[in-house]
């Protein structure tokens, strides 16, 4: 008999039929003798309609009140899920984040979990109840309702699993698990049976969209092993856990392509201390999210200047361009260019630490396929290159094949 924390996202509980499916799955798992804590999100669409209602009243509503408002979404789902379980004769009880003992700081709409007191959850589990907990929400020490921000329900599940010392945490979603590459782009992509936290983090930051980095970081910090799997079928998913020696035998865990980035190059930047800081502070103030940054050595010894390139999300390109333009007299660069026709191709794997020549092999494969590399950025377990947008998918498939990812 294991203690399992399961989390079901908004699509999995999107209507009464789907809530019944979730209840049936939970009932089967309980039948096998497990103790179960089930974390659910708001039904898909509910959070967006609540936000729309609030914005009809005020463009930038108060964040404390937004938390009061949005917390109702998950509270609705927990009650409905408990009722669906009762319909299957499974004893079940719903708890809000506050009732489940989830204490957060007071930063409304993006609160951090400070601690969890799982006494009540334990007591209810001991009574034989399936405990349904509202994801995404908590309460401050002073009794204020808070929400955890994007990906908050995953975080609730993983934090509860840590606090309860659960044997397993299952994140049910609308994909089957983590793949070596996007199966829609790479026909030979395989589902991974396991992946390390660090690899998962790199994939998350590369736009793999399975989970927010935040929850993976939390799981890593507290050593929570979790499985990403689909609520629509019975296939085993991908286990995310601490790196093991055998993981290093595989050089590359996955290959990813991000077509949603654009490149900005500031040409002829005077090579003075503080220049880069000035540029990226201005971008940060304008809430432009910068991903890759590449700066090369200076050209001329007399009046040293350099080119500075970075990538931003495509929708932010215009804003980024304007911000840089506004700095022209202050920073005294020569010109700024922008390029939307790029994509970012990345390979990820803890194995590359112990295998030399991974970068060389990647660049060689790209060259043989006539793909020019415009920017390169590396971490210990990742290599990313910026290439022409039109060649992105061909390059992705070639790299995936070359590394037998």
Total Cβ atoms within 10 A of residue 128: 10
Q: Should residue 80 be labelled a site residue for a second copy when binding is judged by CB under 8 A?
A: yes
Q: Should residue 76 be labelled a site residue for a second copy when binding is judged by CB under 8 A?
A: yes
Q: Should residue 66 be labelled a site residue for a second copy when binding is judged by CB under 8 A?
A: yes
Q: Which of 86, 110 has the CB closer to a second copy?
A: 86
Q: How far apart are CA 146 and CA 351, in angstroms?
A: 40
Q: Could you write out the DSSP letters of every residue in 120-137?
A: HHHHHHHTTPEEEEETTE
Q: Which of 58, 277 has the CB closer to a second copy?
A: 58
Half-sphere exposure of 134 (CA within 13 A, CB side): 29
Q: Which of 37, 82, 181, 327 binds a second copy (CB under 8 A)?
A: 82
Q: Should residue 53 be labelled a site residue for a second copy when binding is judged by CB under 8 A?
A: yes
Total Cβ atoms within 10 A of residue 154: 29
Contact stretch for a second copy (CB under 8 A) within 30-38, 87-95, 323-331, 342-350: 87-95
Which residues have a Cβ under 8 Å from the Cβ of 325 and sit 6 or more positions away? 336
Nearest distance from residue 105's CB to a second copy, in Å?
A: 18
Q: Which of 3, 24, 51, 83 binds a second copy (CB under 8 A)?
A: 83
Q: How far apart are CA 166 and CA 160, in angstroms?
A: 8
Binding mask 141-160 for a second copy (x = CB under 8 A): --x-x---------------
Angle, helices 16-31/63-86, rounded to nearest 10 degrees: 60
Helix residue ranges, H only, 95-181? 119-126, 152-164
With CB under 8 A, what is the number of residues at the site for a second copy? 34
Q: Which of 34, 86, 110, 112 binds a second copy (CB under 8 A)?
A: 86
DSSP 3-state of 195: strand
Q: Should residue 332 be labelled a site residue for a second copy when binding is judged by CB under 8 A?
A: no
Nearest distance from residue 255's CB to a second copy, in Å?
A: 43
Q: Which of 94, 205, 238, 346 binds a second copy (CB under 8 A)?
A: 94
CA 28 to chain centre: 29
Residue 389 tokens read as 């947008």
Q: Which of 62, 244 has the CB closer to a second copy?
A: 62
Q: Which of 68, 293, 294, 365 binds a second copy (CB under 8 A)?
A: 68
Q: Which of 3, 51, 61, 355 binds a second copy (CB under 8 A)?
A: 61
Helices and strands: H and E segment counts in the chain: 12, 20
Q: Which of 89, 329 has the CB closer to a second copy?
A: 89
Q: Should residue 99 be labelled a site residue for a second copy when binding is judged by CB under 8 A?
A: yes
Helix residue ranges, H only, 167-314? 197-205, 213-222, 275-285
Q: Should residue 57 be labelled a site residue for a second copy when binding is judged by CB under 8 A?
A: yes
Q: Could you write out the DSSP letters of every residue in 87-101?
A: TTT--EEEE-TTTTT
Residue 398 tokens read as 């070639």
Q: Which of 132, 158 has the CB closer to a second copy?
A: 132
Q: Should residue 62 be labelled a site residue for a second copy when binding is judged by CB under 8 A?
A: yes
Q: Should residue 72 be labelled a site residue for a second copy when binding is judged by CB under 8 A?
A: yes
Nearest distance from residue 312's CB to a second copy, in Å?
A: 32
Contact stretch for a second copy (CB under 8 A) within 27-35, 47-55, 169-177, 272-280: 47-55
Q: Which of 56, 234, 285, 380 binds a second copy (CB under 8 A)?
A: 56
Nearest distance from residue 232's CB to a second copy, in Å?
A: 19
Nearest in space to 336 (alpha carbons), one of 313, 304, 308, 298:
308
Buried-state track 200-226, b at ≥16 Cβ within 10 A, e below 16: bbbbbbbbbebbbebbbbbbbeeebbb
Q: Which of 118, 254 has the CB closer to a second copy?
A: 118
Backbone φ, ψ for residue 233 (5° rounding): -145, -175
Q: Which of 69, 250, 276, 323 binds a second copy (CB under 8 A)?
A: 69
Residue 178 tokens read as 């983590």
Q: Should residue 103 be labelled a site residue for a second copy when binding is judged by CB under 8 A?
A: no
Distance of CA 130 to CAs 22, 31, 125, Å?
13, 11, 6
Angle, helices 275-285/317-326, rounded to nearest 10 degrees: 130
List residues binding a second copy (CB under 8 A): 16, 19-20, 50, 53-54, 56-58, 61-62, 64-66, 68-69, 71-72, 75-76, 78-80, 82-84, 86-87, 93-94, 96, 99, 143, 145
């Amino acid at each position: 008999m294991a203690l399992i924390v399961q989390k079901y996202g908004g699509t999995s509980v999107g209507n009464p039929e789907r809530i019944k499916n979730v209840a049936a799955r939970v009932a089967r798992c309980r039948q096998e003798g497990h103790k179960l804590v089930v974390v659910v999100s708001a039904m898909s669409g509910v959070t967006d309609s609540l936000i729309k209602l609030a914005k009809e009243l005020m463009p930038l509503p108060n964040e404390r009140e937004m938390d009061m408002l949005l917390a109702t979404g998950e509270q609705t789902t927990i009650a409905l899920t408990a009722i669906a379980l009762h319909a299957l004769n499974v004893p079940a009880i719903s708890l809000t984040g506050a009732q489940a003992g989830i204490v957060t700081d007071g930063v409304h709409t993006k609160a951090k979990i400070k601690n969890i007191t799982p006494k009540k959850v334990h007591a209810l589990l001991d009574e034989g109840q399936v405990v349904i907990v509202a994801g995404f929400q908590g309460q401050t020490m002073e009794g204020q309702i808070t929400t955890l921000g994007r990906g908050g329900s995953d975080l609730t599940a993983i934090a509860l699993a840590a606090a309860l010392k659960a044997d397993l945490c299952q994140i049910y979603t609308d994909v089957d698990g983590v793949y070596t590459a996007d199966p829609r782009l790479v026909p030979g992509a395989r589902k991974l049976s396991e992946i390390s936290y660090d690899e998962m983090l790199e994939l998350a930051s590369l736009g793999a969209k399975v989970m927010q980095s935040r929850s993976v970081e939390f799981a890593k910090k507290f050593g929570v092993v979790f499985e990403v799997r689909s609520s629509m079928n019975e296939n085993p998913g991908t286990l995310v856990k601490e790196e093991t020696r055998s993981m290093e035998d595989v050089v590359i865990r996955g290959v990813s392509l991000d077509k949603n980035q654009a490149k900005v190059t500031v040409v002829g930047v005077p090579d003075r201390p503080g220049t880069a800081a000035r540029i990226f502070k201005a971008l940060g103030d304008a809430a432009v999210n910068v991903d890759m940054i590449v700066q090369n050595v200076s050209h001329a010894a007399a009046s040293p200047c350099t080119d500075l390139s970075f990538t931003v999300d495509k929708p932010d390109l215009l804003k980024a361009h304007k911000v840089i333009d506004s700095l022209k007299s202050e920073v005294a660069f020569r010109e700024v260019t922008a390029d939307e026709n790029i994509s970012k191709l990345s390979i990820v794997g803890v194995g590359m630490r112990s295998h030399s020549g991974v970068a060389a092999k990647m660049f060689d494969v790209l060259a043989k396929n006539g793909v020019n590399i415009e920017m390169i950025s590396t971490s210990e377990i990742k290599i990313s290159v910026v290439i022409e947008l039109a060649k992105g998918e061909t390059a992705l498939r070639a790299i995936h094949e070359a590394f037998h990812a």
